[in-house]
Amino acid sequence: MVSAMDDLRAGLAAIDWVSLERRDDPKIPVLLQAIRSADPAVRRSSYDRLAGLVVHQGHTVPVSPVVVPFLVDVVMDEALPDRFAACQVLQMIAVGDQERWFEEWPDQAVERLEVARQAQLTRAEREQEMQAWVDASPTEEGRHERAFEMELFDVDATFADLRTYMEAYDAVRAAVPSVLAALRSEESAVRLYAAALLAWFAEDQDVIVPALRSLIEGDRDPEVVAVACAAAGLCGRHSDDPALLSTLSRQRDSTHPLVRWSAVIALGLVPTHPDPATVEDLHRCVAEVDWTAGNWPFLDGDVAALASVVIADLSPGDDPDSVPALLRRLEIPQDLDDVPFVQALLAAAFPDGPAPAGTAFTDLTAAQQDAVAAIATDARIGDGAMMTMLLGRYHLPSAAELPGWSGLVTRPFADLDAALAAVPWSAVRHAYGPAVETSGLLRAIRAKDEPTRRGAYDELARLMFDGPRPSQVCPVVVPFLADVVVSAGVADRHLACRLLRMIAVPDQPRRLRTWAPASDDRHERESYEAVRAVVPSLLSGLIAKDTATRQYAASVLAWFPQQSESILPALVLRYPREPQVEAAAVMALAMGFCARRSGDPTVIRVLTPSRDIPIPAIRWSAVIALGLVSDRPDGDLAERLRQVQSEAHEPERDLLLLDGDVAGLTAAVVADLPT
């Protein structure tokens, strides 16, 4: 008698895995057997490894469609454990990168026809089509961008990738009957992930949507119902299916939050024109849902992110307030999956497509300007390659360059070389004589070569100080350092902030004893006032895309309570949204320093929740800051300060102020408490 495993081995042996191009492929037959192992650890690690081999960076590979029948066999075999994991891998094969899917909303029937058409073309004909596409751009810049893309991607390789993608998608689509049967499984996880897998096959909605409706109406597991709602919405997008809308409407008032919001999302997808109440509910979802769902396999469980995608998919007539609604998402102090959010925001802000190449910020609409400003200023939105590509599709600069392009940041010097040449460096003295080499060092801190850059900073620090005292050259270099802080293309901007802090407050322990910026030393007073004059540039540092610049900029701003009217609102806005512990901790301390003894209720409100966070740097900095801000400290605050002193045995270098001496900083605050 032939066993199921014998059949499996025979099927695997019949495939020429080596011909499928990836050198890792010989592992795949082993993994396809291991996912059936009786050992749970072996099964799960095998699924993880298999997923990494059949989908690479969100893209299918030639072996992807070949493994589909073996995974479908697992889904169909009720005797096997972890069948839901086979559904997960099948979804990865069919969809690849969900973020890209929601950006393009692909029409698979059209894609299939395009593959068939291109299959009839020669390489020369494909190249001619690509050249025609390049030439069709209405601007020189657009033609240059398209020509560059043409150089990057070989036409035959691009076609092969498209063909592989469609083969993989269609291989999974062929399994829809088996997946529909899995909706009747006794295992909730199998029903849940089978429903999620069916979401992507709109061509088969006539059979899929009724099955999902039955699941929504009859399943007792709220997580399964929630996923089925979202899946039905995706599969039935723009179908105006009355029966589906009726089923979803009944879930809209569910007491289970995930079910309720999934129904709202689906109700935003199914109608061609959602009603105003649904649009308002989508806005509420984006603004209020500050959690992710573990077993909700859309955008990694980020419910608000999918609601954002749906809002961006609405026509301006259905939702004229889509951009303000999406921007409310940034008011929630939590991690942000930046790429899908920015995709949705830009789609909503540019409903008619990208801005013309060369468009100035001032030529954008008000909503577009608001969207660009949000991308430029929120630290949770990165500036990596994916973000640069996404912004580039709309003819926008990179995220790091947006502040300068949009006018949110103004550089002190329009012409750096002219400004350096205008200073009589031989008449200015540093600690060791005439400051003739300073101009060269100020150029060198902008070098692309890291050793040159770092060496120049070290040499500047050595020359500028006579022991702890700033020399005559210090106030002169301040504007040039500030110019580095606001120059997005320059590396190590945090080192310019560090020098500015050293110039402004060369002796932190003395300052903490007196809490007064005044000094008898003329150079020290002039240096402090010079840094105070560039506070606007330092505020720009709070919106930098690199953590260190935000962190070090905050450490300088801490010492200018006279500028609290401009500094505190910026810190209050940025602190709850700061994604990195070290920068958030320094921002908290900066708020405390700037609002010292003010009793500022806004600062106290923002800081108070952080005093119970189980991350020492955050908790300590919040308690220290509250000790500084409070004008009437109570016994609880005094006890918390004592607790910080007892816990902080080693310096927390990332706190920067007082070299991270938490105990010493706390002692200074305790000594300063009003009696």
Q: What are the sequence ranges of the domains in the chain? A: 106-171, 409-533, 558-675
**Contact call for residues 480 and 441 (beta carbons, < 8 A):** no
Return the H-helix or E-strand segment holding 567. Answer: helix 564-574
Radius of gyration of the chain (CA): 30
Question: Which residue's entry shows tokens 């999934």?
Answer: 262
CB atoms within 10 A of CB 334: 14
Residue 19 has pLDDT above 80, yes or no: no
* Residue in 574, 420, 392, 566 with CA at minimum distance from that of residue 483: 420
Q: How sure is the predictor about 393, in pLDDT bands with cuts at 50, 70 and 90?
A: confident
Q: How sure is the predictor about 23, in pLDDT bands with cuts at 50, 70 and 90?
A: low
Residue 39 has pLDDT above 90, yes or no: yes
Residue 1 has pLDDT above 70, yes or no: no
pLDDT of residue 547: 92
Helix orientation angle between 222-235 and 188-198, rounded to the nearest 10 degrees:
10
Residue 501 has pLDDT above 90, yes or no: yes
Which of 271-275, 327-331, 408-412 has the highest average model confidence (pLDDT)?
A: 271-275
Residue 2 has pLDDT above 50, yes or no: no
Q: What value does the mean pLDDT of the chain take?
A: 91
Residue 632 has pLDDT above 90, yes or no: no
Q: Mean pLDDT throughout 646-651?
A: 87
**Contact call for residues 262 and 302 (beta carbons, < 8 A):** no
Q: Mean pLDDT throughout 591-618?
A: 94
The percent helix, strand, coil of the chain (3-state, each to 5) is 70, 0, 30
**Contact call for residues 272 and 238 (beta carbons, < 8 A):** yes
Helix (H, G, I), strand (E, B) or coil at 383: coil
Half-sphere exposure of 390 (CA within 13 A, CB side): 24
- Residues above pLDDT 90, as percent of the chain: 67
- Residues above pLDDT 70, as percent of the chain: 97
From first CA to last CA, the distance across the chain in angstroms is: 90
Residue 51 has pLDDT above 50, yes or no: yes
Q: Mean pLDDT throughout 605-619?
A: 94
Distance, CA of 348 to CA of 359 (rounded, Å): 18
* Residue in 553, 458, 540 with CA at minimum distance from that of residue 500: 553
Helix (H, G, I), strand (E, B) or coil at 150: helix
Q: Mean pLDDT throughout 621-640?
A: 91
CA angle 665, 667, 671 (to 5 degrees): 120
Q: How sure is the predictor about 21, in pLDDT bands with cuts at 50, 70 and 90?
A: low
Question: Who's near 348: CB < 8 A, 6+ residues apart?
Answer: 311, 312, 319, 322, 323, 326, 367, 371
pLDDT of residue 447: 92
Which of 154-158, 198-202, 352-356, 539-543 has the highest average model confidence (pLDDT)?
A: 198-202
Q: What pLDDT digit, counting tens, does each position of 460-479 carry?
A: 999 998 888 899 999 999 99
pLDDT of residue 577: 87
Cα 647 to the center of its chain, rounded Å: 33
**Contact call for residues 200 and 233 (beta carbons, < 8 A):** no
Residue 514 has pLDDT above 50, yes or no: yes
DSSP letters spanning 341-354? HHHHHHHHH-TT-S
Lowest mean pLDDT among 42-51, 132-141, 291-300: 132-141
CB atoms within 10 A of CB 436: 13
Question: Which residue's entry shows tokens 């080693």?
Answer: 650
Helix orientation angle between 188-198 and 205-218, rounded to the nearest 10 degrees:
150
Q: Mean pLDDT throughout 394-398?
A: 89
Question: Who's near 669: CB < 8 A, 6+ residues apart?
Answer: 592, 624, 627, 628, 641
Helix (H, G, I), strand (E, B) or coil at 205: helix
**Contact call for residues 356 and 139 (beta carbons, < 8 A):** yes
pLDDT of residue 5: 60
CB atoms within 10 A of CB 131: 14
Residue 278 identity: T
What is the SS3 string spanning 156-201?
Answer: HHHHHHHHHHHHHHHHHHCCHHHHHHHCCCCCHHHHHHHHHHHCCC
Distance, CA of 349 to CA of 369 (rounded, Å): 9
**Which regions of 301-426 does DSSP assign to beta strands (E)?**
none
Burial of 360 from C-beta contacts in 10 A (0-12 / 13-18 / 19+): exposed
Residue 138 has pLDDT above 80, yes or no: no
Q: What pLDDT digit, counting tens, does each position of 420-439 carry?
A: 999 999 999 999 999 999 99
Helix (H, G, I), strand (E, B) or coil at 266: helix
Return the H-helix or E-strand segment holding 94. Answer: helix 83-95
pLDDT of residue 9: 65
Which of 148-157, 402-411, 621-630 has the highest average model confidence (pLDDT)?
A: 621-630
And the tokens for 572? Answer: 């209050």
Question: Who's near 484: CB < 8 A, 6+ residues apart?
Answer: 445, 446, 490, 493, 496
**Contact call for residues 33 and 46 (beta carbons, < 8 A):** no
Q: How sure is the predictor about 25, in pLDDT bands with cuts at 50, 70 and 90?
A: low
pLDDT of residue 324: 92
CA angle 60, 65, 67 (to 5 degrees): 110
**Contact call for residues 78 and 190 (beta carbons, < 8 A):** no
* Residue in 306, 64, 302 with CA at minimum distance from that of residue 163: 64
**Which regions of 225-318 does DSSP assign to beta strands (E)?**
none
Q: How sure is the predictor about 644, in pLDDT bands with cuts at 50, 70 and 90?
A: very high
Q: How sure is the predictor about 627, in pLDDT bands with cuts at 50, 70 and 90?
A: very high
Q: Mean pLDDT throughout 364-371?
A: 92
pLDDT of residue 356: 86
Half-sphere exposure of 335 (CA within 13 A, CB side): 8
Residue 517 identity: P
